């Protein structure tokens, strides 16, 4: 899993309200799955989605009050798409940082329905042996 903790999100509204720009969010990408954790307009929300074609994702909040799409070219730093919440609509752009944090899933906690994540351990150099 790749995680961008300091991605920047821009929200644009079709009703010509002032856009929300450069809001910090977190993006998590696993093969076929995307999660965006952000302050979406007026509340904190997690938008979860599945891949729907190469680089295309369909997302929704847990309570289904927000649904969205995102697209990302392979290895791209920009994700763009549209969103809809109640009677509001617009588009959004997320700029990922330069380097994601790479997390490794170590086990699935089925009792709680979540994954336990661990950062990979750094290997310490062995004296006298070239890396």
**Token pair of 11, please?**
């929200």
Ordered by start, the domain boundaries in the chain are: 2-118
User: The whole model's pTM is what?
Assistant: 0.76
CA dihedral 57, 62, 65, 70 (to 10 degrees): -10
Does residue 130 or residue 46 have the better pLDDT? 46
DSSP-derived 3-state class of residue 131 = coil
Q: What is the pLDDT of residues 48-101, one digit of tens each?
A: 999 999 999 999 999 999 999 999 998 899 999 999 998 899 999 999 987 788
In whole angstroms, what is the distance from residue 22 CA to residue 9 CA?
Answer: 5
CA dihedral 83, 84, 89, 95 (to 10 degrees): -20
List strand residue ranges (DSSP E) for the chain, in order: 2-13, 20-30, 33-40, 43-51, 56-61, 66-71, 78-85, 88-95, 101-102, 104-109, 114-118
Does residue 72 or residue 118 have the better pLDDT? 72
In this structure, the number of other CB atoms found within 10 A of the CB of residue 3 comes to: 19
User: Is the predicted pLDDT of residue 113 greater than 60, yes or no?
Assistant: no
In whole angstroms, what is the distance from residue 76 CA to residue 94 CA?
Answer: 11
- Across the range 98-117, mean pLDDT stands at 62
User: Is the predicted pLDDT of residue 124 greater than 80, yes or no?
Assistant: no
Confidence of residue 119 (pLDDT cuts 50, 70, 90): very low
pLDDT for residue 125: 52
pLDDT for residue 58: 97
User: Is the predicted pLDDT of residue 123 greater than 60, yes or no?
Assistant: no
In the CATH scheme, what architecture does the domain 2-118 have? Beta Barrel (2.40)
In whole angstroms, what is the distance from residue 20 CA to residue 40 CA?
Answer: 9
In whole angstroms, what is the distance from residue 21 CA to residue 47 CA?
Answer: 18
């Amino acid at each position: 899993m790749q995680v961008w903790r300091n991605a920047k999100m821009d929200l644009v509204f079709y009703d010509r309200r002032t856009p929300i720009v450069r809001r910090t969010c977190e993006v998590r990408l696993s093969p076929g799955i995307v999660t965006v954790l952000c302050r979406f307009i007026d509340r904190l929300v997690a938008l979860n989605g599945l891949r729907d074609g190469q680089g295309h994702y369909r997302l929704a909040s847990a309570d289904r009050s927000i649904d969205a799409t995102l697209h990302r070219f392979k290895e791209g730093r920009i994700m763009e798409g549209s969103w809809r919440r109640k009677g509001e609509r617009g588009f959004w752009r997320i700029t990922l940082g330069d380097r994601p944090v790479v997390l490794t899933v170590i086990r699935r906690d089925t009792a709680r329905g979540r994954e336990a994540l661990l950062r990979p351990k750094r290997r310490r150099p062995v004296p006298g042996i070239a890396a």
